[in-house]
Structure 1
Amino acid sequence: MLTRTVYRAIPRGTTRFACRTPFRRFPTQRVQAFSLSHSRFDSASQQLAAKLSQEAQLESNEMSKTNNLDVKSFLEKNPGWKISDTTGTGEVIMERKYEDEDITVMFNVSEADNSLGPDEEMEDEMSDDELDSDEINSGTSDKFKVVPEDRMDQRYEESDSKAETLEEEDWDVPIPAEVRVLIRKRNKGALKLYMDTTDSFFHINHVVHLPDSKEMHSTSAVELLRKDTDGVYTGPLFPHLDEEVQSLFHKYLEARGINTNLSMFIPDHVIEHEQKEYVDWLKRLQSFVE
């Protein structure tokens, strides 16, 4: 009762004033995180694009020194072959005719077996040295103990010596490449050979006979080489055949231009074509990140 009386005694104007007293709104300050991140990413993109452009220019200059020299030299010495490669695919197609046969050779720079380079080989040897040193220091070897400082000095001296040796030697080891060959005869199907080039020599792995069919007539040689031979007997491993059969088969291929000259050309062309692919790849990356 007392509370209600006091409330009624308060002037109504006072109540209205209190209720209508405006409050000041302060604008909310938002964090501009996106714009900062965006500018930061733009800067990173520009730096990456500039570096990719620099790398592409260096590789292009290096490539121009020997561009297509191996192709021109090979075609001059081995007339009849046609070479086509499409940048971006890594695929190289070689074609020629022999009497009534159509011969197609296909290899891909992406499938080349990139063996260990000098740096990687040196790292492996250094790892072996580490194991030897650990055995010495752990007491498992009867050799003298090597303190860490001496071990590091010895490692650097050995690595410098190996690097100098590699610089003096010409590190130009042929890259093994997987090769597929198709020898096609009208109304007789085709022979499909799975091979690889090693030490300037063709090593045959399998020889598959593809029977003549309507599907084969409507399928290009390149498509036949790309397709797997599922459901077709691939024959035994070629090295398991009689040695005389192997020898005569190599002579059969040599008569059709699949010889030592070709086995030496392919690894060289793999290196050159891979260089072109690398430069094109750098330029496409640069175009994307710009």
Structure 2
Amino acid sequence: MSFRAIRQLAATSSRALSLRSSLTSARARVHASSPFTRALPATRAAFSVSARSFGEGTADGALSAKIAEELAYEKDAEIKDEPDFLKEFKNTGIWTIEDTPGNDEVTLQRKFGNEQIRLIFSIADLQSEEENFEAPEEGNASEEASEPSYPLRCSLTITKPSVPGSLSVDAVCQEGVFVIENLSYYNDAKLATDLTPEADWKRRGLYIGPQFETLDLNFQEEFEKFLQERGINESLAFFVPEYAQLKEQKEYVDWLGKVQKFIDA
């Protein structure tokens, strides 16, 4: 199947739909009720000179109660057991998942022959797309029956111990396909895989190759087959956004808890 093929996303599971609905509706309630959407009266001072010391403000209790309400709502919708899609992915034994709590990036790694393959994606893309999401109009059953698909940018690197360089692929994952944007080659594999700001700055000054879509069609098709053979396929393209949604929910619940503890301290 071509990476550039556009197909309609298969109907999502009720679990995934419930997760997205709870995320969207809960945050909509928070933003709708936020007092920061209204301007303060001109005659009212922004800060009260009679306020008590920091950490003992008059609004602390109400804010903590609001966070507790939101936290209870999110925890009620949270999935307690490991989802089936994640169990199945792990049981294949192909990819390993590196997911550090508190970080917005997830790394998938695997070996293929003498190659080391690494795929990185971020839930930050998911969060920004949620803010721009518009709910389907009433009466449109086809849109209401399926979950909106959010494009996630992915960075893929392939290295070999016998070669000093590295292949690097920039792609967008959405609706069960990886759409390749760029294919680059770095003479120094460490430069391609290093995630430091210094390495990122050095990469910006290098020639990264032409836009993938401008390459010869036969070249594109053969390279897509090259990636599919290494597991960069439809199955992985469906897993990535589903795992991103799961992680985003966990991070949000954890964030709420930390903010509440800080307010209550």
> Which TM-score applies when normalising by structure 2?
0.70
Asked if the contact 1:238–1:246 (Cα under 8 Å) also holds between the matched residues in 2, the reply is yes
Partner of 1:181: 156
CA RMSD of aligned residues (A): 2.8
What does the per-residue CA deviation read over 1:32-52, in whole Å, with 9 as the maximum and x for residues that have no partner?
x85x52299634111111221
Task: Give the AA of the match of 1:276.
Answer: K
Structure 1 residue aligned with 2:6: none
Residues 183-262 of structure 1: matches in 2 within 5 Å?
A: 183-188=158-163, 189-212=165-188, 216=190, 221=193, 223=195, 227=200, 229-262=203-236
- 5+ residue gaps, structure 2, are 1-47
Please say if residues 187 and 212 of structure 1, whose CA atoms lie closer than 8 Å, have aligned partners that are also in contact.
no
> What residue is the counterpart of 1:73 in the other structure?
88
The one-letter amino acid of 2:97's match is I
Deviation at 1:91, TM superposition (A): 0.9
Matched residue type, 1:79: G
| Residue of structure 1 equivalent to 2:75 | 60
Aligned residues: 211
Change over 3 Å in CA distance of 1:68–1:224 after alignment to 2: farther
1:118 touches 1:166 (CA, 8 Å); kept in 2?
Answer: no
Q: Deviations over 1:100-148 (max 9, x none)?
A: 11111101101235164343x65xxxxxxxxxxxxxxxxxxxxxxxxxx
Structure 1 pair 222–231 and aligned structure 2 pair: CA distance change class (3 A): closer
Which of residues 85, 100, 107 in structure 1 aligns to 2:99?
85
Q: Does the aligned pair in 1 maintain the 2:157–2:192 contact within 8 Å?
A: no
The Cα of 1:57 is off from its aligned counterpart by 2.4
Aligned to 1:100: 114
> In the superposition, relative to structure 1, how do residues 265 and 221 fare at CA in structure 2: closer, same or farther (>3 Å)?
same
Check 1:207–1:224 CA distance in 2 against 1; reply closer, same or farther (3 A cut).
farther
Whether 1:51 aligns to 2:24 is no
> Are the aligned partners of 2:97 and 2:108 in contact in 1 as well (CA < 8 Å)?
yes
Task: Classify 1:262/1:64 alpha carbon distance in 2 versus 1 (closer, same or farther; 3 Å).
Answer: same
Shift of 1:260: 0.7
> Matches of residues 17-56 of structure 1 in structure 2 within 5 Å?
37-38=51-52, 42-56=57-71
Query: Normalization by structure 1: what TM-score?
Result: 0.65
Q: Give the aligned partner of residue 5 of structure 1.
A: none
For structure 1, which runs of at least 5 residues remain unmatched after alignment? 1-32, 123-161
Asked if structure 1 preserves the Cα contact closer than 8 Å seen for 2:129 and 2:150, the reply is yes
Q: Which has the higher helix share?
A: 1
Secondary structure, counterpart of 1:42 in structure 2: coil
1:109 to 109, 112, 123: 123
Q: What is the letter of the counterpart of residue 174 of structure 2?
A: T
Q: Alpha-carbon deviation of 1:224?
A: 7.4
**d(CA) in 2 for partners of 1:167 and 1:241?**
36
Larger radius of gyration: 1
In 2: Cα distance, 1:209 partner to 1:106 partner: 17
Does the 8 Å contact 2:125/2:151 carry over to 1? no
Does the aligned pair in 2 maintain the 1:82–1:96 contact within 8 Å? yes
Separation in 1, partners of 2:143, 2:224: 37
- Structure 1 distance, partners of 2:166, 2:157, is 7
Closer, same or farther: CA 67–236 of 1 in aligned 2, 3 Å: same
Q: Secondary structure at the match of 1:53?
A: helix
Alpha-carbon distance between aligned partners in 2 of 1:212 and 1:187, rounded to the nearest angstrom:
12
Matched residue type, 2:183: V
Q: Is residue 63–residue 275 contact of structure 1 (8 Å, CA) maintained in 2?
A: yes
Q: 1:67, 1:272 within 8 Å by CA — same for their partners in 2?
A: no
Which amino acid is the alignment partner of residue 86 of structure 2? Answer: V
